[in-house]
Amino acid sequence: MLRTKEQYREGLFKMKPNIYIGGEKVGRDDHRLIPGINVMDTTFEIALDPRWKGVATATSSITGEEINRWAHLPQNPYDLLQKQKLIRLSARRVGGCIHRCMGHDAISALAICTKEIDEAKGTDYHQRFINYMRGYHQKDINGCCAQTDSKGDRLKRPSEQPNPDAYVHVVEKRKDGIVVSGVKMSITQVAYADEMFVLPTRALMEDDSAFAVAFAVPADCEGVHLITRPVWHREKDEPDASPFCRYGVSDSVVVFDNVFVPNERVFMCGEWDFGRRIALLFADSHRHSYSGCKPGVSDILCGTTALAAEANNIQKVGHVREKLSEFAGAAELAFAAGVAAAVYGEKTSSGVFFPNKIFANVGRRMTGELIYHEYNILTEIAGGIAVTLPFEDDFHAPDTKKYLDKFIVRNPKLPPDVSLKIWKFVENIGASPMSAWYEIAGVHGGGSPIMETIALNLDYNYDRKKKLARYLAGIDPEFDDSADLALEPTFGMSLVEDPKGQQKK
Ligand SMILES: Cc1cc2nc3c(=O)[nH]c(=O)nc-3n(C[C@H](O)[C@H](O)[C@H](O)COP(=O)(O)OP(=O)(O)OC[C@H]3O[C@@H](n4cnc5c(N)ncnc54)[C@H](O)[C@@H]3O)c2cc1C
């Protein structure tokens, strides 16, 4: 089923109020949440747009019906390529983060890990999860992912923390389900999601088995409290405001205060030895999602820089052209890493197709490291106006308009109203609360940079590179590189074929 944005909002606004903003308990229709809800709307709109059929939609592997791609469990490289494309096109439409990839990455991780736990331990988590997903597909549910625990003292494991609520954990096991408590934080989208997937955030030891818990609950479930921080642009959401200003985001501290989770929604409980696996499955899938999202953010920063250069009448200057090419390098290398991750991915025992970890991590690491540099290029080309521009009302007030209309024009080919729109946009992109959000999300979203290093060091074979160097240095007589070059693209799977006859873009 594909819901309309009106159906999504109707369901959302009926949810129980469990959100706090600035000390107030608010409903989901609070005006500070609307910029994020506007982003969600587009995820339903794009899926119903015939131009994006097969990109924004997919055929459910569970019900066989057409569903929103955000709810789809990827079955082949083609699915991963289409996800990447969907994220880039969505990011360009809303001016950045589309918020829904975390839910997508969580369902991939859960599908794979529940199967692997069952294979190792004889449990029945996978079938439970598939049963749950049937309803998810039939109702076109919008899910988020709460993985990051508040974590307390970073050098202590969950069971060593003086405050056990630093990590979400099981406090009671009942016949019909479990009771959980603890605090997750920095959770995007939960304030306007239908459902929340909860996963462990790190590798666990036997003592931590109470913390090895994964489940799904409605975002307004009894005992769940959301303490929410909305972010939006400087400009108001007025009819004449730019489309970009309609969008924003909210992140929440999620408190689980003795929350009952029925068995059919519990997908891991006590299997501490799968803590690392499920945490990395989510993180690696999320890093592949970045290969669609970050190129979209680069596209926006590149376009804004080019527009600022035009408004300054320096668009043909050599150093400007050179700086613009840096955006092209960042965006397209990240996108290419995502394509490689899809093409060299692997079919897991669950049937879910998973991106190649090395390519997903190197792409994500590069874009994380470059994010401040890209903002710096915009700042260099735009000048200081992003933080010194008078308020918009001064451009319309009779006493000041006559001065400001002259001051705002730098390129004589651009009239004052267009020049003002450009500089307000530059301010919103480069010097608003959203700019800071994108910079920090670029570094930490999907895991801090050190996590990509750890993921690479788990899988990348440095020893074989050393053996290559030993051969070239004449220390060893031979070097067998068959293992290094054994990686084959998964052409045997439907990489480019489109069995359902879905339209390709
Ligand atoms: C904008 C934004 C949106 C987000 N959305 C989501 C979301 O929807 N869902 C979700 O689950 N998470 C989300 N996150 C959380 C994100 O995954 C985390 O910020 C990230 O994993 C880093 O964790 P942290 O913020 O707790 O930083 P920390 O883990 O505290 O890291 C800070 C520094 O401490 C170091 N450090 C931490 N632990 C150790 C240790 N044991 N030993 C040595 N060094 C250590 C790190 O390497 C890093 O340099 C979001 C984050 C941001 C910024």
Q: How far is the centre of ligand 1, averaged over its atoms, from the C-alpha of 113 (Å)?
A: 22
CB-defined site of ligand 1, < 6 Å = 102, 145-148, 151, 154-155, 186-188, 251, 437, 440-441, 444-445, 447-448, 450
Q: How far is the centre of ligand 1, averaged over its atoms, from the C-alpha of 386 (Å)?
A: 29
Q: How far is the centre of ligand 1, averaged over its atoms, from the C-alpha of 452 (Å)?
A: 12
| Contact between 335 and 84 (Cβ < 8 Å) | yes
pLDDT cut 90: percent of the chain above it: 85
DSSP string, 245-259: GG--EEEEEEEEEEE
Which two structure tokens, joined as six digits, stand for 61?
């592997």
Nearest atom (ligand 1) to Cα of 443: 53
| Contact between 360 and 337 (Cβ < 8 Å) | yes
Q: Is 223 left (phi over 0), alpha (psi -120 to 50) or beta?
A: left
The whole-model pTM stands at: 0.94
148-195 confidence digits (pLDDT tens) = 999 999 999 999 999 999 999 999 999 999 999 999 999 999 999 999
CA gap 274, 200 in Å, rounded: 9
338-353 confidence digits (pLDDT tens) = 999 999 999 999 999 9
Nearest atom (ligand 1) to Cα of 440: 53
| Contact between 83 and 286 (Cβ < 8 Å) | no
Which two structure tokens, joined as six digits, stand for 403?
């001065």
Q: How far is the centre of ligand 1, averaged over its atoms, from the C-alpha of 366 (Å)?
A: 17
The confidence score (pLDDT) of residue 489 equals 64
CA gap 94, 151 in Å, rounded: 32
Burial 61-72 (b: 16+ CB within 10 A, else e): bbeeebbbbbbb
What are the residue ranges spanned by the domains of the chain?
Answer: 280-457
Q: How far is the centre of ligand 1, averaged over its atoms, from the C-alpha of 444 (Å)?
A: 6
Residue 266 half-sphere exposure toward CB, CA atoms < 13 A: 23
The confidence score (pLDDT) of residue 240 equals 64
List, edge to edge, every strand of the sheet that includes 169-173. Answer: 24-26, 19-21, 224-231, 249-262, 177-188, 169-173
The confidence score (pLDDT) of residue 493 equals 52
The confidence score (pLDDT) of residue 143 equals 98
Q: 3-state DSSP helix/strand/coil percent for the chain, to nearest 5?
A: 55, 15, 30
The confidence score (pLDDT) of residue 447 equals 83
Pocket test for ligand 1, best of 448, 452, 453, 454 (most atoms within 8 A of CB): 448
Q: Within 10 Å of residue 218's Cβ, how many Cβ atoms? A: 16
DSSP string, 354-418: E--HHHHHHHHHHHHHHHHHHHHHHHHHH-THHHHPPPHHHHHSHHHHHHHHHHH--STTS-HHH
Q: Report, as ranges of residue numbers, the positions in the chain whose pLDDT lies below 50.
A: 491-492, 494-499, 501-505
Query: What CATH number was assigned to the domain covering residues 280-457?
Result: 1.20.140.10
